[in-house]
Amino acid sequence: MGNAAPQNLVGPMVRKLRYQRGLTQAMLTARCSQAGWDVSENTIAKIEAQIRCVTDREVVFLAKALRVPLQTVFP
């Protein structure tokens, strides 16, 4: 990533919440799909690594998939 600024602020929190729940990226991907967001495991990895931007709508899906209140996803 070099000196480039992170593309999102929620990535590390998504990773932390996923680990706390004992979920793999594949499991989180499946939960996101159940919530209505067809996302790949690779995309989840990029979000967690702060490489990919996250839209407000995607944050809602992530919160649903992680089963946490929306504000919990924000650092």
Write out the DSSP string of 14-70. HHHHHHHTT--HHHHHHHHHHHT----HHHHHHHHTT-S---HHHHHHHHHHHTS-G
Write down the pLDDT at residue 2. 56
The answer to whether 24 and 62 have CB atoms below 8 angstroms apart is no
Q: What is the pTM of this model?
A: 0.90
CATH class of the structural domain 11-68: mainly alpha
Write down the pLDDT at residue 3. 64
Nearest Cα residue to 16 out of 41, 39, 58, 50: 50
Summarised one tens digit per residue, pLDDT across range 1-32 is 456 677 788 999 999 999 999 999 999 999 99
What residue spans define the domains of the chain?
A: 11-68
Instruction: Please enumerate in sequence order all residues whose Cβ is within 8 A of that of 28, keeping only pairs 6 or more positions apart, or say none.
Output: 14, 18, 44, 65, 66
Summarised one tens digit per residue, pLDDT across range 32-57 is 999 999 999 999 999 999 999 999 99
